Structure 1
Amino acid sequence: MPQLTALTPLGELTLSEEDGAIVALDWGRGRDQTATPLLQRAIAALHAYFDGAAEPFADLPLNPAGTAFQRRVWTAMRAIPRGRTRSYGELARDLRSSARAVGAACGANPIPVIIPCHRVTGARGLGGYSGGDGAATKRYLLGLEQA
């Protein structure tokens, strides 16, 4: 599976591609570095995001592996505009589910930052974040977006 690593304000982030779509974003340097056109485009979109671009990921083909429910949650997260947040409970109401199930889907997101799980917060605070340095990374991303 082709991978390419970018140096970002969050450190090294590695994108993975499979069958013409982005399937993962991981913290740290990937073992194999292959600069495919899609991965190069995705890296450019990451840099644009950190430079303040509103929606640099809109045209990237994504294919995160997950259950049908997880995919529904991830689609709902992608609809949250930059600089805005929604609570786990709000998404749960929209999806006719529970806040806990939405939180679990957020935590299983294989393409964080691009699928913006950091924009989903708890009813009384920040909530968790499974990427990078956890809550500190979530605070950084929300601050970057001025949410």
Structure 2
Amino acid sequence: MVDVAFASVPTPLGDVLAAVTPDGVAATSFGDGERVRAKMLGRLAATAAGDPALASPARDELAAYFAGRLTRFTVPVDWRLMSPLQRRVLGTLYETVAYGRVTTYGELAETSGSGVPARAIGSVMGSNPIPIIVPCHRVVAGNGLGGFSGGDGVDSKRWLLTLEGYLPPTLDWEL
């Protein structure tokens, strides 16, 4: 079993929880609580005995991101919850689509060389265990925003893309 430390950050989208192993951030979640933490521990086959200091860098970077002060995560990523296909597609996304930029499902299918059709890339995005840090919100449809399984769905995706400057803010938008 691996030890996991948790970091929870209050954000305008609700609490965001990160599960951090000695190898890096292995999972993030919109929402926090005993059930969310237990589910993460189960998926990681882990115990919550990790040193809380292990999660401090992830907490600090998530807080800075949501405050509009961080444009590139530097915390290590632990890819253990991803299949080889997810790792290839999400790894390509992580390495090539910067803050404030987007790619389409079709473009990501092509650049990742995964052999997955564009329509299936959405499933890979929906199964991303590390949203925000591995920025699945930056993948859009060719004719609009597309879907989003985190937080409040497309509204959360819209908020994240507004934070990053890709979408213009609405009159009621606040950090």
What is the distance in 2 between the residues matched to 1:44 and 1:30? 20
Q: State whether residues 5 and 54 of structure 2, in contact with CA within 8 Å, keep that contact through their aligned partners in structure 1.
A: no
Amino acid at match of 1:50: F
Q: Which runs of 5+ in 2 are unaligned?
A: 38-47, 167-175
Partner of 1:29: 32
Amino acid at match of 1:63: D
- Per the alignment, in what secondary structure is the counterpart of residue 106 of structure 1? helix
Greater CA deviation, 62-71 or 104-113? 62-71
Check if 1:61 corresponds to 2:76. Answer: yes
> Which of 86, 90, 105 in structure 1 is aligned with 2:124?
105
Report the structure number with the largest CA radius of gyration: 2
Kindly report which structure 2 residues correspond to 1:92-131, keeping only aligned pairs within 5 A, or say none: 92-96=109-113, 97=115, 98-131=117-150
Partner of 1:15: 18
Q: State whether residues 8 and 16 of structure 2, in contact with CA within 8 Å, keep that contact through their aligned partners in structure 1.
A: yes
Give aligned-pair identity as a percent.
39
Check if 1:88 corresponds to 2:78. Answer: no
What is the distance in 2 between the residues matched to 1:24 and 1:99? 24
Partner of 2:40: none
By how many angstroms is 1:12 displaced? Answer: 0.7
- Per the alignment, in what secondary structure is the counterpart of residue 106 of structure 2? helix
Amino acid at match of 1:88: Y
Amino acid at match of 2:78: N
Amino acid at match of 1:81: A
Greater CA deviation, 1-10 or 26-35? 26-35
Q: Which runs of 5+ in 1 are unaligned?
A: none
Q: State whether residues 22 and 54 of structure 2, in contact with CA within 8 Å, keep that contact through their aligned partners in structure 1.
A: no
Q: State whether residues 3 and 30 of structure 1, in contact with CA within 8 Å, keep that contact through their aligned partners in structure 2.
A: no
TM-score (norm 1): 0.90
Check if 1:146 corresponds to 2:146. Answer: no
What is the distance in 2 between the residues matched to 1:134 and 1:80? 20
CA RMSD of aligned residues (A): 1.7
By how many angstroms is 1:20 displaced? Answer: 3.2
Partner of 1:5: 8
By how many angstroms is 1:42 displaced? Answer: 0.4
